[in-house]
Amino acid sequence: MKILVCISKAPDTTSKIAFTEGNSRFDENGVQYIVNPYDEWYALVRALEIKEASSADITIVTVGNASDEAIMRKALAIGADEAVRIDAEPTDAYFVAKAIADFAQEKNFDLILTGKETINYNGSQIGGMVAEALDLPYISIASKLDVAGSSLTLEREIAGGVEVVQVNLPVVVSCAKGMAEQRIPNMRGIMAARTKPLQVIPPKNSDQLTSYVAFANPAAKSGVKLIDPSNMDELVSLLHNEAKVI
Amino acid sequence: MKNIVFIPANSPLTKASFEVVSYARNLGGTVTVLAAGKLPSQDLSVLGTYGADEVIVNRSLVANDDQQITMWLANYCKEANNIVFSHDFNGKAIAPRLSVKLKAGFISGAIALPENDGSIKVNVYSGKAFGFMKCNTTQKIISLLPNSVAPEMSGNACGVTEVEETFGEIKVKVLSVKKPEGSIPLPEAERVVSAGRGLKGPENWGMIEDLANALGAATACSRPVADIGWRPHHEHVGQTGVAIRPNLYIAVGISGAIQHLAGVNGSKVIVVINPDAEAPFFKAADYGVIGDAFEVVPKLIDAVKNFRAN
Ligand SMILES: Cc1cc2nc3c(=O)[nH]c(=O)nc-3n(C[C@H](O)[C@H](O)[C@H](O)COP(=O)(O)OP(=O)(O)OC[C@H]3O[C@@H](n4cnc5c(N)ncnc54)[C@H](O)[C@@H]3O)c2cc1C
């Protein structure tokens, strides 16, 4: 089985989120980048488990610039076989998805995995866009994925529940919690990652449909009002009369 | 201006559907709702009171067939200026597909109506910041984060047209559906009671559920609690869990780590119950109770019940 895992970089979860250039750009100063958690913990690790259980060839793909190769090496250290970087600034979901789809088109992957969203843009867009561009079925926000021959059984979240579905390969799946457990790369993996192939290719398309015109940080809270632990009637009264939430 | 709204009609309508219809109405122009599912027409006509001019419901599709629904919507959307979804499970599956099919810009996770310059405010960095997004295309697709823009009533019940259209083979076969009993879907809940490792063990969640029931709230938890299996994964809120924006978020025995706060700081009012006065969560809270959950929560349950009884 040929598996493609789409990997994105994201600022470390403890990063201070600030903006520069008149609030038009994310301030990368002092920011450590990690592999987007959903891509790493669930999509990539599930791909590795499939490989270990039967056999599979795992390619990771990133749309990004040369500085993203650090997170790609991390994904290779965890166990991906090869990496492809589509050399462009990932400015818009449509552009990124088209670039991935154009690359995947010629390679006949059986299974394309993405994380359910990135923790920086929270768009939940790439998987569905890649699926549409390749005319493939899409299972979004899957929390379980089992392979039986050329058919997959998955669980996915739907409004107020979980749906168990079956679909034949090839298919695109966006991966969420429950699918696999986080893995820490070991020394052997890190050494091996240095010599695994990392290919750089140009994007075929340059269409961009959306852009960010500005960013802002939420207003800080004005300060906490402390309530005596023995006086919960007061809390309820404040929630009713002052906050008006009950 | 022509607006189209997609809503799932597999089960009774929820607030999220009223929100998207009302949002589309406030964009100006006409509002046509396209629905998929078996919900009776009478129930769908209510959407008129939130601003829909008409509802067209496809009886041959279910809301989870994203590939089929995309083809159906594309036929109706040729002249639409805006196509609005809820940023829920259906919206996340269908809207990106439609964006590619129509080559229309997609603004995902909107939390407000457009600004004067036409840009739309969205949640980014898992709630740690906002972005203002613009589309470079004349057609826009917008998915609206639940609980962001309150639905407004305007107008009367509207007409509902039933159609039956299919688009070839359905590639995804549904084997079964599991529904957790009686729970409110977390992203749509107006009130949420959440608990963390401070509760010491899963056997102590009874009082959290009791408090949630007394308030008509959904329950949530911190990540370690879901990781060790005290609570189901779908309750995990935060940067790597569900992001929520309820009116009221009560956090019991949660320290308030940056990753937890990211997913909940869009809540309108935050109450923190924790014996550690130094817990970072107090900095993000509106109301704080420095105390032991095992003493405070039962008192709070009584106080809420008293309040409800009067
Ligand atoms: C990459 C990454 C992603 C993460 N994503 C998330 C995420 O999405 N969501 C998330 O929640 N976390 C996330 N975390 C974990 C986060 O950093 C914290 O570890 C976690 O939120 C702590 O959970 P907690 O508050 O339940 O436990 P703790 O930090 O252990 O806090 C327990 C609290 O309970 C209080 N307590 C103790 N006894 C009592 C009592 N009797 N009554 C009341 N209170 C009591 C303590 O004072 C303490 O403040 C992430 C971490 C990383 C590294």
Is the Cβ of A121 closer than 8 Å to some Cβ of chain B?
yes
| pLDDT tens track for B244-253 | 999 999 999 9
pLDDT at B278: 97
Spell out a b/e string for B133-152, using b for 16 or more CB atoms within 10 Å of the CB, else e. bbbebebbbbbbbbbbbebe
Q: Is the ipTM of this complex over 0.85?
A: yes
Q: Is there a common fold for B2-163 and B186-309?
A: yes
The domain locations on chain B are 2-163, 186-309
Lowest-pLDDT range of A108-112, A155-159, B94-98, B289-293 = A155-159
**Nearest residue on chain B to A241, judged by CA atoms?**
B307
pLDDT at B226: 95
A to B CB pairs, distance under 8 Å: 273
Is B276 a residue whose pLDDT tops 80?
A: yes
Tokens at residue A49, please?
Answer: 């488990």
Q: What's the sign of the alpha-carbon dihedral B172, A140, A208, A10?
A: negative
Min Cα distance B70 → chain A (Å) is: 9
pLDDT at B183: 66
Task: Work out the burial of residue A32: count CB atoms within 10 Å of its CB; fewer than 13 is exposed, 13-18 middle, 19 or more buried.
Answer: exposed
pLDDT at A10: 96
DSSP-derived letter for residue A145 is E
d(CA A75, CA A40): 7
B144: nearest Cα among B73, B88, B80: B88
Tokens at residue A1, please?
Answer: 């089985």
pLDDT at A157: 85
How big is chain B, counted in residues?
310
Average pLDDT of the residues in B210-229? 96
Dihedral pair phi/psi, residue B48, rounded to 5° = -55, -35
Cα(A235) to centroid(ligand 1), Å: 24
| A176 in Cβ contact with A142 (< 8 Å) | yes
Is B63 a residue whose pLDDT tops 90?
A: no
Test the A interface: residue of B172, B177, B228, B248 with most A CBs within 10 Å: B172
Contact A211 B215 (CB under 8 A): no
B186-309: CATH topology is: Rossmann fold (3.40.50)
Other CB atoms within 10 A of residue A86 CB: 20
Share of chain B above pLDDT 90, in %: 89
Min Cα distance B76 → chain A (Å) is: 18
| A103 in Cβ contact with A201 (< 8 Å) | yes
CA dist A119 → A164, B227, B236, B263 (Å): 26, 19, 15, 10
pTM of the model: 0.95
The domain locations on chain A are 2-218
Is B62 a residue whose pLDDT tops 90?
A: no
CATH among 3.30.70.20, 3.40.50.620, 3.40.50.720, 3.20.20.140 for B2-163: 3.40.50.620
| B13 in Cβ contact with B46 (< 8 Å) | yes
A2-218: CATH topology is: Rossmann fold (3.40.50)
Instruction: Give chain A's residues under pLDDT 50.
Output: none
